[in-house]
Structure 1
């Protein structure tokens, strides 16, 4: 299927070593296709994604919420995902 939009996100993982606790950021991308949304380890059929929302946190970035039939998945983003959300809503509007 055709790629419609991409949204960078960050996965923050806590690592514990003998010298202390560390946080490691892993840059990843959400991909929106006409029939699905794909992250590094998950794939959601577009029919199972009900909506997306965004909540700014602090002065930089925020949280992107993917509302699915199996629950809500949260992605940490460093820039506003408004274009990605608009592309998703246009995609589902054209299919319904």
Structure 2
């Protein structure tokens, strides 16, 4: 398995204490391999992925969204970094392998 690209994603959780509400951000990696994409404990074979797209404002630190279009529906992930490398690597892989089209 060759690692082709990674994307840092953000998980946002809110906790409510006695006197305050806290927003907690934790990060995890989305990893694109030559036969699958992994996100935390989820594994998606590339044949189950239809497309990967993202939308992010250009401001530094702005929150964006990465959309993973799969046979199990569209999964949305928060991102703070540009996802162009991941999307480009996926589209290149898709164009080179007919079974992914």
Match for 1:65 among 67, 74, 91? 67
Aligned-partner SS, 2:96: helix
User: How many equivalent pairs are there?
Assistant: 96
Aligned-partner SS, 1:63: strand
Answering whether residue 42 of structure 2 is matched by residue 42 of structure 1, we say yes
Q: Which residue of 1 aligns with 2:81?
A: 79
Q: Which runs of 4 or more aligned residues in structure 1 lie more than 3 Å from their structure 2 counterparts after TM superposition?
A: none
Residue 57 of structure 1 and its aligned partner are, at CA, apart by 4.3
Q: Which residue of 1 aligns with 2:20?
A: 20
Residue 78 of structure 1 and its aligned partner are, at CA, apart by 0.8
The answer for unaligned runs of 5 or more in structure 2 is: none
Structure 1 length-normalised TM: 0.91
Report the RMSD for the aligned CA atoms in angstroms: 1.4
The answer for unaligned runs of 5 or more in structure 1 is: none
